[in-house]
Amino acid sequence: MRVIICGAGQVGFGIAERLSSEDNDVSVIDTSHDLIARVRDTLDVRGVVGHGSHPDVMAAAGADEAEMIIAVTLYDEVNMTACQVAHSLFEVPTKIARVRAQSYLHSHYSNLFSRDNLPIDVIISPEREVGEVVLRRIALPGATDVVEFADGQVVMMAIECREDCPVINTPLSQLTDLFPDLNATVVGVWRNDKLFVPHSSDQLLADDLVYVISVQDQVRRTLSLFGHEETEARRIVIAGGGNIGHFVASELEKGSARTNTKIIERNRERAIKVADTLRRTIVLNGSALDQQIMHEADIQDAELMVALTNDDQVNVLCAVMAKNLGCQATMSLINDLSYQSFTATLGIDAHINPRAVTISRVLQHMRRGRIRQVHSVQKGQAEVLEAEALETSPLVGTPLRDLDLPEDIRIGAVYREGKVMKPDGETQIRAHDRVVIFAKTSAVKKVEQLFRVSLQFF
pLDDT digits (tens, 9 = 90+) for 240-265: 999 999 999 999 999 877 899 999 99
Pair (14, 104) in one structural domain: yes
Assign 458 a pLDDT band (cuts: 50, 70, 90).
very low
Assign 453 a pLDDT band (cuts: 50, 70, 90).
low
Residue 186, beta-bridge partner list: 212
Alpha carbons 221 and 234: distance in angstroms, whole number: 21
Q: How many residues are present in the chain?
A: 458
One DSSP character per residue, 439-452 reads EEGGGHHHHHHHTS
Q: What is the mean pLDDT of residues 197-216?
A: 94
Assign 309 a pLDDT band (cuts: 50, 70, 90).
very high
Specify the pLDDT at position 250.
94
Cβ atoms within 10 A of the Cβ of 255, count? 12
Alpha carbons 20 and 39: distance in angstroms, whole number: 11
Last residue of a domain, one of 67, 99, 124: 124
Assign 60 a pLDDT band (cuts: 50, 70, 90).
very high
Alpha carbons 33 and 255: distance in angstroms, whole number: 47
Does 280 fall in a domain?
yes
Coil/strand/helix, residue 54? coil
Alpha carbons 80 and 370: distance in angstroms, whole number: 27
Structural domains in the chain (count): 4
> Who has greater pLDDT, 94 or 257?
94
Does 61 fall in a domain?
yes
Given a cut of 80, whether residue 192 has pLDDT beyond it is: yes
Alpha carbons 330 and 349: distance in angstroms, whole number: 5
Specify the pLDDT at position 457.
38
pLDDT tens by residue, 107-147: 777 788 877 788 999 898 888 889 999 999 999 988 989 99
Alpha carbons 433 and 222: distance in angstroms, whole number: 24
Pair (135, 116) in one structural domain: no
Pair (370, 385) in one structural domain: yes
Pair (109, 185) in one structural domain: no
Does 352 fall in a domain?
no
Alpha carbons 190 and 292: distance in angstroms, whole number: 40
Q: Of 400, 420, 419, 402, give the one whose Cα is nearest residue 411.
A: 400
Pair (250, 266) in one structural domain: yes
Given a cut of 90, whether residue 387 has pLDDT beyond it is: yes
Pair (20, 110) in one structural domain: yes
Does 378 fall in a domain?
yes
DSSP state of 105: G
Does 341 fall in a domain?
no
Q: What is the mean pLDDT of residues 427-446?
A: 93
Given a cut of 70, whether residue 430 has pLDDT beyond it is: yes
Assign 23 a pLDDT band (cuts: 50, 70, 90).
confident
Q: What is the mean pLDDT of residues 198-208?
A: 93
Given a cut of 50, whether residue 186 has pLDDT beyond it is: yes
Given a cut of 90, whether residue 224 has pLDDT beyond it is: yes
Specify the pLDDT at position 79.
95
Pair (265, 218) in one structural domain: no
> Who has greater pLDDT, 337 or 418?
418
Do 307 and 237 contact (CB within 8 A), yes or no? Answer: no
Question: What is the domain-level CATH number for residue 450?
Answer: 3.30.70.1450
Residue 148, beta-bridge partner list: 155
Specify the pLDDT at position 257.
75
Assign 340 a pLDDT band (cuts: 50, 70, 90).
confident
**HSE of 327 in the Cβ direction (CA atoms, 13 Å)?**
30
Q: Of 252, 355, 241, 249, give the one whose Cα is nearest residue 309.
A: 241
Pair (76, 179) in one structural domain: no
Does 435 fall in a domain?
yes
Question: What is the domain-level CATH number for residue 298?
Answer: 3.40.50.720
Strand spans (E) along 15-153: 25-30, 46-49, 68-71, 94-98, 122-124, 143-149
Pair (6, 119) in one structural domain: yes
Last residue of a domain, one of 77, 107, 124: 124
Last residue of a domain, one of 78, 95, 124: 124
Does 337 fall in a domain?
no
Assign 369 a pLDDT band (cuts: 50, 70, 90).
low
Pair (120, 145) in one structural domain: no
Alpha carbons 29 and 36: distance in angstroms, whole number: 7
Given a cut of 90, whether residue 344 has pLDDT beyond it is: no
Q: What is the mean pLDDT of residues 167-175?
A: 90
The highest-confidence range among 174-178, 352-356, 426-430, by mean pLDDT, is 426-430
Pair (321, 381) in one structural domain: no
Given a cut of 70, whether residue 421 has pLDDT beyond it is: yes
Pair (10, 118) in one structural domain: yes
Q: Which residues lie closer than 8 Å to 363 by C-beta, 6 or more apart?
A: 18, 374, 376, 383
Does 438 fall in a domain?
yes
Averaged pLDDT score across all residues of the chain: 91
pTM of the model: 0.84
Strand spans (E) along 150-303: 154-160, 184-191, 194-196, 209-215, 235-239, 260-265, 282-285
Q: What percent of the chain has pLDDT over 70?
A: 98
Specify the pLDDT at position 227.
92
For 269, the domain range is: 244-328
